[in-house]
Structure 1
Amino acid sequence: MVDVVWLDNGILRLGFVPALGGRLLSLVFEGHEVLWRNASLVDSDLQPIGHQPRPVSGTMGDWVNYGGDKTWPAPQDEWLGPPDPILDSGPYTASGDLVLTSAPDPRTGLRLSRQFTLLPGASSFHLRLTAMNISSRPVRWALWNVTQLPPGIVHVGLDGPVVELIGSVSCQDGVIPVQSTVGKLGFPGSTGWVTHFGTEVSLTQRFTVDHDAEYPDSGSPLEVWIESPQPEPISWLGGLDPPDHIVECEVLGPLTTLAPGERTVLDIDYEIGGCG
C-alpha cells in the first residue's frame, strides 16, 4: 500500500500519491475523471497494481508511466529523463495543505516542490512550482509541468509561431484535433492558456508568458505531445512503447540560472468545466 492524499471541496476531488514522484493522479469533476491514468499500473484507489513502486532509471523504454500531472526540469535533452530515479520516480514528502517536495537531486542540483491550493466551492485550483538549487554550483534549468490527458481536442491561445519538435502532429490555427500519431509541437507564440476538451469535461491551464525571457525548445512556453499505441517500441525515442492514446499539455517556465540557494517559480491556474 502507498499513502494517498485527497483534497475535496465538494466540486473537485484531487488524489495525490507522494511515493510516485509527487503526482496528482486523479482529478474528478461531476463524477468524471479529467486526467489520463495508467489503469494497468494504478487502480481507482490510486494503489499500484502487481508491483512495488521503486525509483527507475534507464531509457524511455524503462519508464513506468503512471499518468497524471507531474513536474520535471527542462531542457529534456540535458535532464535525460524520464525515467529519473529522484525527480520523476522517487518519493516526495507531503506537508501542509498541500506541498509535495522531492528529495535533493545531485545530478541536476535541484529540489522540486509542488504546492496545490483548492478553494472552497471552486471548480478550479492553483499550482505553484518551485525549483531550488541545493548544490554548491550554479545551475540553469526551466520548470516543466506535464499534464497527461485522454484523447481530446486541444485549443491553444496563440499569437505567433508553432514549431514541430518531434514527429508530426496536425495543428490548424491553434487547434489540435484528435489524431493517432507520436509527436510534439512547441508554441513560441503562446499567449498563456491551453484548453483540452475531453468527452465529458474540459481542462484549461493559464500561466504567464515572459516575452523577454528565454524558453527551452525553440522558445516554447507551451508544448503539446500526442502519443498512440504503435506496432513496436519506438527505437528513436529510446524504446518508448506508448500504452494508450495520450495527450500531454506541457507548461514551461523560462530558463533560469540559479546560484546556490536560489529558486525559480512557475504558477499555473487550472479551470475545469463541462463540454456540453
Structure 2
Amino acid sequence: MNHAMKIVRSAPTLTLVAVLSAGWCSRVAQGSERLTSGAARALEPVGFLVRTNYHGWADSILVSNGRVEAVIVPAVGRVMQFRFAGEEEGPFWENREMDGKAPDPESKDWGNFGGDKAWPAPQSDWPKMTPRAWPPPVAFDSRPNEARVDGFEVKLTSAVDPHYGIRVRREIKLDLDRPVMTVATTYEKVSGRPLQVGVWVITQLKDPLAACASLPEFERFREGYYRQSDELPPNLRIENGLLLLTRDPKASHKVGTDAGALFWVGKEAVLRIDSPREVFGEYPDEGCSAEIYTNPDPLAYVELEMLGPLSKMVVGDRITRTSNYTLFRRREVDPDLEVRRLLIQ
C-alpha cells in the first residue's frame, strides 16, 4: 500500500508509522454534507497506524480507520482492545493487574491478561498433548508474538508450540468505511505427529448488560444449548431464536451453541462477533461453534468464544478461521430489542 507520508513525533510513547494512506485519507466529496455556506464539505474520518507504549508494553500497535480502532500487543500475543476512535475505553476486558508484564511459559498459574486470543480446540485434548491440563499450551498463550505491519494490516506470528507443532498467524485489519475489525486466525502444522485440532478464538469482555447468541432455525441442541458447567447461568433464557444471559457474580458458568453470531451488550455500545458455522464438519464440545463463559467476582468479565470445525492436520497443513467484530452505538433501551434490531439490518 502506498503511504502518502511518514511522521515521527518526539514523544517517546508514540511513533506514527503510517497515516493518510490511499483510500484512508480525508475525502471532501462523495456524499459528505454541505455546510450552510455551500462552500465547504464535512471531512470523513482519517485512518492511521501508530506504534505506542500501551500500559507498559512497548512497541504495541494502535490502528484506526477514524471510526473504530484496535490495540494490538505483540508482547502478550493479543488484540487487547477494540473501541470507537478517540475513546479511552472499549468493550474488551483488560486485567490492569497484568499491565506491562511479560507472559511466563513456566508458570503454573495462567497469565490472565484479557483481550482477544486463540487456543487449540478441544480443550479436553490438552492433557493428552501437553504435560499439563492448565494453563493453556505455551506458544498459543504464554509467549510473545512477532508483529509485522503491512500497510494498515497487522500480522502476528507465534512461536511453534513444542507440543502441538503448530504456529499461529493472526491478520488484523479494519474495514475502510465501517466500524468493523476482521481477524483471520491461521494454524500452520510445522512439526510433530498428525493431530486433530480446531481454531478457537476467545474474546474477553467487560461485564455486560447481556450476552447473546443468535440461534439457527434448525438447532442442533434440543434445549438450544449445550451445558458446559455444573450449573446453568441463573437467568439464562431463550426467546424466539435468541439466547440471552448475564454474568453471575458468585459462580462461573458456560454454555455452548451452534450459533454463528454472538453479541455483547453494554450500557452505551454493542459488539457483534460473526464467524459463520460451516454446514459440514465435526465441531468440538459435542458440536459447538459458539460459546459463552461468565466469570465470577472479583474479575468481572465474560468470554465470547468462536470455534471452527476440527481438522486432521499433518506437517504442511493450514487451517483458517475468520471473525468479524462490529461495534455499534446503543439505540434501544432493552438489550433484547437492541440485538434483534441488529439481526435484521
TM over 0.5: yes
Q: Classify 1:167/1:3 alpha carbon distance in 2 versus 1 (closer, same or farther; 3 Å).
A: farther
Give the secondary structure class of the aligned counterpart of 2:187. strand
Return the match for 1:17 from 73, 77, 83.
Answer: 73
* Off by >6 Å, runs of 4+ in structure 1: none
Contact residue 209 and residue 221 of structure 1 kept, 8 A: yes
Give the secondary structure class of the aligned counterpart of 1:121. coil
Q: Superposition pairs for residues 18-167 of structure 1, below 5 Å? A: 18-20=74-76, 22-29=77-84, 31=87, 32-42=89-99, 48=100, 52-57=101-106, 59=108, 62-79=109-126, 80-95=133-148, 96=150, 97-152=153-208, 153-159=210-216, 160=219, 161=221, 162-167=225-230
Distance 2:330 2:276 in 1: 25
Counterpart of 1:258 in structure 2 is 313
Q: Classify 1:151/1:169 alpha carbon distance in 2 versus 1 (closer, same or farther; 3 Å).
A: farther
Return the match for 2:271 from 203, 208, 220.
Answer: 203
Give the secondary structure class of the aligned counterpart of 1:40. helix
1:172 aligns with 2:237: yes
Contact residue 56 and residue 63 of structure 1 kept, 8 A: no
Q: Classify 1:81/1:102 alpha carbon distance in 2 versus 1 (closer, same or farther; 3 Å).
A: farther
Distance 1:83 1:57 in 2: 11
Counterpart of 1:183 in structure 2 is 253
1:146-178 Cα offsets, whole Å, 9 max, x none, are: 000011101211132201112323321111134
Structure with greater contact order relative to length (CA < 8 Å, sep ≥ 6): 1
Unaligned runs of 5+ in 2: 1-56, 127-132, 332-345
The percentage of counterpart residues that share the same residue type is 29
Contact residue 55 and residue 84 of structure 1 kept, 8 A: no
1:23-70 Cα offsets, whole Å, 9 max, x none, are: 01122215241200001222xxxxx1xxx41433455xx111010001
C-alpha displacement of 1:145: 0.3
Contact residue 247 and residue 295 of structure 2 kept, 8 A: no
Q: How many aligned positions are there? A: 250
Q: Classify 1:81/1:141 alpha carbon distance in 2 versus 1 (closer, same or farther; 3 Å).
A: farther
Task: Answer with 1 or 2: which has the greater Rg.
Answer: 2
TM-score by length of 2: 0.69
Contact residue 137 and residue 259 of structure 1 kept, 8 A: yes
Counterpart of 1:179, as a letter, is D
1:206-259 Cα offsets, whole Å, 9 max, x none, are: 112123211111110011100112xxxxxxxxxxxxx51111000001110012
Give the secondary structure class of the aligned counterpart of 1:73. strand
Distance 1:89 1:5 in 2: 19
Distance 1:13 1:82 in 2: 30
Distance 1:113 1:64 in 2: 20
Unaligned runs of 5+ in 1: 43-47, 230-242
1:167-213 Cα offsets, whole Å, 9 max, x none, are: 323321111134323021011x32x1111101221110111212321
Give the secondary structure class of the aligned counterpart of 1:4. strand
Contact residue 182 and residue 325 of structure 2 kept, 8 A: yes
C-alpha displacement of 1:125: 1.4
Contact residue 167 and residue 182 of structure 1 kept, 8 A: no
Counterpart of 1:41, as a letter, is M
Give the secondary structure class of the aligned counterpart of 2:319. strand
Counterpart of 2:321, as a letter, is L
Contact residue 121 and residue 197 of structure 2 kept, 8 A: yes
